[in-house]
Amino acid sequence: MFHKILVPVDPQDVNFAAKAVEHAARFAKECNGTVRLIAVSPVLTGYVTEFLPSDFQKEVDREAEDKLDVLKNTALAVGGKAEVVIRLGSVYTEVVEEAKDWGADLIVVSSHQPKLTTYLIGSNAAQIVRHARCSVLVLRE
């Protein structure tokens, strides 16, 4: 049923996505599918970039990929196939675009319990649910 499963991961808190990766890997194993872990790096523009080394973005992406590789190995241990992709932009926009571009059947996203500020401002998980063209499974803590 779910052959292409996308899992957003915050490289600064990879443990938060571990449960989502395990669930996604089980779905992938049952359906002979693939889990794709996605991390999104923010766009740094203007004044800030003048003070950063020229290879800063490449280094950030490399560190994110290294961290996601640990979760990728977790997914591979459960079964199925797994891969990693790094995109640049805002989290929910890039996750939704990656799901569309890749043809994802399911997005599995971890989410904190909602707070009042989440209702007023919105969270990445809420935005993904609202805008994704495929099914979204939200896992709470």
What tens digit of pLDDT does each residue of 98-116 get?
999 999 999 999 987 655 4
Higher per-residue pLDDT: 120 or 100 = 100
pLDDT per residue as tens digits for the range 20-41: 999 999 999 999 999 999 999 8
Class of domain 4-140: alpha beta
- The full set of domain ranges for the chain reads 4-140
The pTM of this model reads 0.89
- In terms of C-beta distances under 8 Å and separation of at least 24 residues, what long-range contacts does 71-75 make, across chains too? 71/7, 71/9, 71/14, 71/17, 71/18, 71/21, 71/37, 72/35, 72/37, 74/18, 74/21, 74/22, 74/25, 75/21, 75/22, 75/24, 75/25, 75/28, 75/35, 75/37
Q: If you average pLDDT over residues 72-88, what whole number do you get?
A: 92
pLDDT at 122 over 70: no
